[in-house]
Amino acid sequence: MRRLLITGAAGGLGGILREGLAGYAEVLRLSDVAEMEPARAGEEVVPCDLADREAVIDLVKDCDGIVHLGGISIEAAFDDLLSANLLGTYNLYEAARQAGGPRVLFASSNHAIGFHKRTERLDDSSTQRPDSLYGLTKCYGEALASYYYDKFAVESVCVRIGSCFPEPKDRRMLSTWLSPRDFVSMVRAVFDAPVTGHLILYGVSANRETWWNNDHAAFLGWTPQDSSEIFRAAVEAKFPPEDKNDAATIYQGGGFAARGHFED
């Protein structure tokens, strides 16, 4: 890997990859609309608004792989999502096509499937069931990835990330937690693979209770090492048992599924 682009590099997951992928590529090209730390050895810092198509086309030139994290990462007004997530992701894929098709890791989200019940076990063939306008933009990103693969052979791994934080923040995250270490090893596996095609992957650690099955992607050779179990006692002591009749407990998307329509 000569040059790997990370969009959204100033964000939480961008920071994890900046550390965890140091030395993985000859150059990490770090991009965001927000301010970033100055470039260190083996890095380039390239500010860019994903909504600016010409700037994105320049950004993607000469890149051999792309980790697309940039965009709004929570529920928001449609007009804001329209610019950062819908237009931004379109620009990114169009730029990848024009650049000859570097592989893209698209940071999708569990909120693309958040209206499935927690009693269901999902895999790559499960239907999208967005739980929010935000989740809907991730469904669009996954569909864009599929289209750009089928028509232009731009490979993508769309990762439906659960909850990637240093520790699970509540009882739900005991199921959805992805450790930062497992996230980094997953990104490496995605770019080490000789071929991926268009793939849906769940970004989740080896938690005891999980709703997602990655068996279809065994060829990637990615095996998560961590489990939320070591945090269970502390999380259960801190948070009362969940109300089984609450939509936030019934659906995989938790609070995103339970909250009302953002525009109301």
Q: Closest approach of Cβ 38 to ligand 15L, in Å?
A: 26
Q: Closest approach of Cβ 50 to ligand NAI, in Å?
A: 4
Considering the complex, state which of residue 128 and residue 176 has its C-beta at the smaller distance from ligand 15L.
176
Point out which span in 44-52, 57-65, 86-94, 107-115 binds ligand 15L (CB under 6 A): 107-115
Contacts of 239 (CB under 8 A, 6+ apart): 170, 171
Amino acid at 40: R
Considering the complex, state which of residue 73 and residue 196 has its C-beta at the smaller distance from ligand 15L.
73
CB atoms near residue 115 (< 10 Å): 20
Strand partners, 159: 107, 201
Distance CA 1, CA 232 (A): 38
* SS3 state of residue 140: helix
Interface with ligand 15L, residue 110, by CB under 6 A: yes
Closest CA to 114 of 146, 152, 161, 150: 161
Interface with ligand NAI (CB under 6 A), residue from 4, 11, 130, 182:
11
* x/- map, 96-125, ligand NAI, by CB under 6 A: -----------x-x----------------
Distances (CA, A) of 162 to 147, 159, 227: 24, 9, 13
Query: Catalytic annotation on 134?
Result: yes
Which token pair is 213?
């099955």
Q: Closest approach of Cβ 158 to ligand 15L, in Å?
A: 13
Q: Closest approach of Cβ 199 to ligand 15L, in Å?
A: 19
- Could you say which DSSP state residue 230 is in? G
Residues lying near ligand 15L in the complex (CB under 6 A) are found at 73-74, 109-111, 163, 176
Catalytic residues: 134
